[in-house]
Structure 1
């Protein structure tokens, strides 16, 4: 902070002092001042003023430290990725785009995400923070970049989470109709499930993370069993065709076109960084969770993709025409496995809703706590130490987006299909999130050169983040490429408008608040 308020309780009026930055000027002497402390009468370096513990801006709103271990945040990260949800609704589009060899696209995406994981891990080792990418970019490039990143990350994640919220009710409606022939409006189910999720998240990070972890354990177990059974059943015509580059539709251009869809399967991999403040030993455990999650998800997706392509006998046309290809494959195995696959999709959406909101709401919470966003967002529930206001804001805006999208469809095509909304909303959100990834990769070498020059390593802090940045340029290009159908052709312009407005707002806020730069990253997770 550049300015601290000091409250004098009965101080001698002859004592002349003022606060300057992080030090106190007392009768002409400059004495370091801990930013955790308030000024009260007493003793300080031989004077009559003594520091008394008090939280600076935001420190009284600390989260519940030490609540989570490495297993908790790893499970939460993979629950946020939501492999069943992401794969069910994403792989069909990927296979149609990339062809029979679409599993190779997942391999490429896994490598790209590993580059990004290196960036996040190196930042988390140096400065673990609930602000995640916002803190990392802001500490490197200054307060304007911090506010800009906070807005881009906040809007991007909220729009993407709207897709998860909508599909939670949508998928439950599909299950009820399929097995019980009940036609329950998906909107009603979405509201009920969202309210239950919010109650769970406000109750506490430990219990909500464990529930999300349980959901993930169930879905990944079911997915693996179905995939293995499907591969065994189709053992008579197994081949390595899905891993041969020659079978990618349109060669490298097909691989590149399918790459954004494959990247989307991993969105949420960064979950654990935002939980740093509530994690024991975050400098070590966050990197462990990040790489463990990326490795497990990469291998799992490759197995699921191979089982699905094999289950359709390498016929991409039939695969693309299936409503949910993996469910179709499950239906071809054993009846109980198909039912469990439906349940896995349900628990996956709920797990992603809880785990995703838990972590992503903490990003805007941290930004509010540091003054980058409205301060009311940066407050915690005083008993449970959860960012209640940020969670309510995050979910509230997401629900409003769903409502606005529904009204737009009613005025246009007539109805809104939650599955189509999932694709539309998640794509828009992903564009903004990818920009944040790009900024973080560009920031890493500058951060280490500026703050930790002795620890700078050419490969780890130079080469790998550059490769990570390049890997993000490809999906950004294809998501912004002209000629896409409506509404996807609007998204690049919407994203550009959000970036411009965010920069303008950030510049104005930084100018009005010269001390903002000192607040960015001022609360370190383990300090």
Structure 2
């Protein structure tokens, strides 16, 4: 049985429309841009900026964001072409099925399950922390036992607020993609207003002397900071998981991916410049650096709004991650590599209802019981691995002339895909050894699942003679 059997682009598109109940096409370019911004601006800008400045880059955090932004921009162009060419759910998993074959596609799918699943759990934990901090300002406190993950030494056993927000977001997602998109848009507008408020107020308190020395940890600190803040860009690839629910995907998918990334990159650079201009970088190693900076300049009333904006921001990140996870499971299940329960679509809502609630259960377990730092460790490596594979996939598409002439096309091929691969490869080798070991263990588990279940149940077994090689 050929482990690298492929599905042509035409077959992937045709199969997407053959089910009795298909996903509803309800999204336009604006909806996709809001989904992208909703996924990108959140934990990264409200949490990681301070730690990256204090421990890695100092005021040169601006360069860290630019470096990560370039890596994402090159990768985003590659995603945009694939999303335009293969308007099917599944993101990098589906693209790999058309280019590299089933085994590589499964590895990418298993990798993305790790990325979306652990990232969702980590974001839910972060949301819980911000909510508790906001309520504490009003004198409202949860019993300590239900405020954080399992840690009997500190008196905590389960993070109930994290589980609660996962259930609420899942309930919203099962009501249909258009309602979810409307809610996301409202929350995105709120958090963009909050970010712009910080920029507008903070710009008047910048002291250029705080930018000296500009690069206290050297260029190695800039690259380490870039690898850290890369988490802030995770999410734009989730836009590509919406492909089957988009009107005119050849036009709207590239717009949504590129616009969302451009908007967020500009805001990240502005926020990092103002943040390190207001507060000496040595003092930014806190969990809420943006609110801390405003307290530092005695603008406490704005700091309160920042906490509210952070909650709104993290909520939209969680929504898009859970949405992307459900569509990923849907695509893999439709190909037979996971049980069919994940690809059942509700006739009334036209969403994968059962799939969403199973994911809710799994993510809730991790978010409720596993500490935040453990959840976040593997997210970056999974994303960078996917970006690198998609970049190489564009080279394969062009060499084999599989892609149609219509739709978005990456400019300056092969240079842009090669730059995407090199930038992401440089960032991935900056990650610690323990992350690589954990990632390797996860992939080995995935291979056991594929050879134990997926290979046998693959839909390609029903369409080809297993004794013959297929391409």
TMscore range, shorter length: 0.7 to 0.9
SS of match in other structure, 2:347: coil
Change (3 A) 1:357 1:344: same
* 2:224 is the alignment partner of 1:280: no
SS of match in other structure, 1:264: helix
Residue in 2 aligned with 1:104? 63
CA RMSD of aligned residues (A): 2.8
CA-to-aligned-CA distance 1:465-515 (integer Å, 9 cap, x gap): 11111111122212134xxxxxxx3x3212101223324543565653575
CA distance in structure 1 between the aligned counterparts of 2:425 and 2:48, rounded to whole angstroms: 20
Residue in 2 aligned with 1:69? 28
Residue in 1 aligned with 2:109? 150
CA distance in structure 1 between the aligned counterparts of 2:458 and 2:349, rounded to whole angstroms: 33
Is the 8 Å Cα contact of residues 219 and 345 (structure 1) preserved in structure 2? yes
Residue in 2 aligned with 1:238? 208
Match of 1:497 among 441, 447, 450: 441
* 2:270 is the alignment partner of 1:326: no
CA distance in structure 2 between the aligned counterparts of 1:390 and 1:35, rounded to whole angstroms: 21
Shift of 1:73: 1.2
Figure out how many residues of one structure are paired with residues of the other and give that number.
Answer: 438
CA distance in structure 2 between the aligned counterparts of 1:119 and 1:240, rounded to whole angstroms: 38
CA distance in structure 1 between the aligned counterparts of 2:300 and 2:239, rounded to whole angstroms: 36
Residue in 2 aligned with 1:342? 307
SS of match in other structure, 1:99: helix
Shift of 1:427: 2.6
The structure that has the greater radius of gyration is 1
CA-to-aligned-CA distance 1:161-217 (integer Å, 9 cap, x gap): 110122222211111112324345432222322222111110111111111111111
CA-to-aligned-CA distance 1:14-52 (integer Å, 9 cap, x gap): xxxxxxxx9xxxxxxxxxxx9999xxxxxxxxxxxxxxx
CA distance in structure 2 between the aligned counterparts of 1:160 and 1:174, rounded to whole angstroms: 21
Change (3 A) 1:451 1:336: same
CA-to-aligned-CA distance 1:409-456 (integer Å, 9 cap, x gap): xxxxxxx5xxxx1x4312312222221222111211112322437859
Residue in 2 aligned with 1:60? 20
Residue in 1 aligned with 2:272? 305
CA distance in structure 2 between the aligned counterparts of 1:479 and 1:36, rounded to whole angstroms: 37
Structure having the higher strand fraction is: 1
CA-to-aligned-CA distance 1:377-413 (integer Å, 9 cap, x gap): 11111110111222222222111223442xxxxxxxx
Change (3 A) 1:517 1:97: farther
Flag structure 1 segments of 5+ consecutive residues without an equivalent. 1-21, 23-33, 38-54, 406-415, 482-488, 520-527
Residue in 1 aligned with 2:43? 85
SS of match in other structure, 2:71: helix
CA distance in structure 2 between the aligned counterparts of 1:458 and 1:60, rounded to whole angstroms: 35
* 2:158 is the alignment partner of 1:193: no
Shift of 1:300: 0.2
Is the 8 Å Cα contact of residues 118 and 460 (structure 1) preserved in structure 2? no
Q: Which runs of 4+ in 1 moved over 6 A?
A: 34-37, 55-58
CA distance in structure 2 between the aligned counterparts of 1:36 and 1:116, rounded to whole angstroms: 23
Is the 8 Å Cα contact of residues 227 and 304 (structure 1) preserved in structure 2? yes
Change (3 A) 1:394 1:56: closer
* 2:80 is the alignment partner of 1:121: yes
CA distance in structure 2 between the aligned counterparts of 1:445 and 1:155, rounded to whole angstroms: 26
Match of 2:187 among 204, 208, 215: 215
Match of 1:506 among 417, 427, 450: 450
Note the 1:403-422 alignment, pairs <5 A.
Answer: 403-405=368-370, 416=371, 421=372
Flag structure 2 segments of 5+ consecutive residues without an equivalent. 1-6, 148-158, 464-471
CA distance in structure 2 between the aligned counterparts of 1:72 and 1:404, rounded to whole angstroms: 34
Note the 1:17-56 alignment, pairs <5 A.
Answer: none
Residue in 2 aligned with 1:468? 420
Greater alpha carbon shift after TM alignment, 56-65 vs 86-95: 56-65
The higher relative CO (CA closer than 8 Å, separation ≥ 6) is in: 2
Is the 8 Å Cα contact of residues 337 and 457 (structure 2) preserved in structure 1? no
Residue in 2 aligned with 1:370? 335
Change (3 A) 1:517 1:447: farther
Is the 8 Å Cα contact of residues 128 and 282 (structure 1) preserved in structure 2? yes
CA distance in structure 1 between the aligned counterparts of 2:28 and 2:403, rounded to whole angstroms: 30
Greater alpha carbon shift after TM alignment, 134-143 vs 503-512: 503-512
CA distance in structure 2 between the aligned counterparts of 1:458 and 1:350, rounded to whole angstroms: 32
SS of match in other structure, 1:452: coil
Change (3 A) 1:500 1:442: farther
CA distance in structure 2 between the aligned counterparts of 1:64 and 1:198, rounded to whole angstroms: 18
Shift of 1:61: 3.8
Is the 8 Å Cα contact of residues 308 and 329 (structure 1) preserved in structure 2? yes
TM-score by length of 1: 0.77
CA distance in structure 2 between the aligned counterparts of 1:277 and 1:378, rounded to whole angstroms: 13
Is the 8 Å Cα contact of residues 176 and 183 (structure 1) preserved in structure 2? no
Change (3 A) 1:324 1:74: same
